[in-house]
């Protein structure tokens, strides 16, 4: 089996959660990035995905959380922060626009750009500084225009049922190893 196909199979296995929680539909890789689709059957599956993302999160990373209202962007952000051992209340930053959390590994800023009307407002929210000091979770990233880093992990959530969601993921290749390691660490 070629190294490329073996890498795809390993990633598919790594992203396959426990039975009954979520199922993987497709996964492809390119030389610099990958795409994947995961069905999240319930809240536990969303939390498992959040834990995988948290494991790979490093200084300079941006995680763009896309989806319609009520698809679970804030739920996934909370799961990532909980996996980073944030014990305090994690409110949605809908009105504050940004919340900062200092974890034992790195500082994470959680942005909600829903109310941002002009991408130039992003400068005032300190996104560049957030990425220099730690990582950023960004809900409604489409409101940032072209100000998001090109290497952001893109997670688009789509409601597929009352409790189920689909996560379409696009990201740089370094996330492959991070997601695989987090699965093998279980």
> How far separated are the first and last CA of the chain, in Å rounded?
26
> 33 pairs with which residues across the strands?
172
Domain that holds residue 107: 40-172
Residue 83 lies in a domain: yes
Burial 41-50, CB ≥16 within 10 A → b, else e: bbeebbbbbb
Q: What tens digit of pLDDT does each residue of 150-176 get?
A: 999 999 999 999 999 999 999 998 887
Residue 135 lies in a domain: yes
Residue 184 lies in a domain: no
Q: What tens digit of pLDDT does each residue of 22-50 get?
A: 434 344 555 578 888 889 999 999 999 99
Residue 161 lies in a domain: yes
Residue 64 lies in a domain: yes
> What value does the mean pLDDT of the chain take?
82
- Kindly report the CATH number assigned to the domain that includes residue 140: 3.40.50.300
How many domains in the chain?
1
Whether residue 111 contacts residue 125, with contact meaning beta carbons closer than 8 Å, is answered with yes
């Amino acid at each position: 089996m070629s190294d490329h196909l073996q890498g795809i199979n390993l990633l598919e296995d790594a992203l396959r959660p426990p039975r009954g929680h979520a199922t993987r539909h497709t996964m492809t890789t390119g030389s610099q990035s990958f795409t994947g689709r995961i069905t999240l059957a319930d809240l536990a599956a969303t939390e498992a995905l959040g834990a995988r993302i948290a494991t790979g999160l490093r200084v300079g990373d941006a995680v763009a959380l896309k989806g319609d209202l009520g698809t679970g962007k804030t739920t996934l952000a909370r799961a990532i922060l909980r996996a980073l051992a944030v014990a305090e209340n994690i409110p949605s930053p809908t009105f504050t626009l940004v919340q900062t959390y200092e974890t034992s590994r790195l500082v994470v800023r959680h942005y909600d750009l829903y109310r941002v009307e002009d991408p130039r407002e992003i400068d005032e929210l300190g996104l560049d500084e957030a990425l220099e000091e730690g990582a950023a979770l960004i809900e409604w990233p489409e409101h940032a225009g072209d100000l998001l880093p090109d290497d952001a992990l893109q997670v688009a959530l789509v409601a597929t049922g009352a409790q189920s969601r689909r996560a379409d993921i696009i990201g740089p290749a370094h996330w492959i190893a991070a997601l695989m390691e987090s699965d093998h660490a279980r």
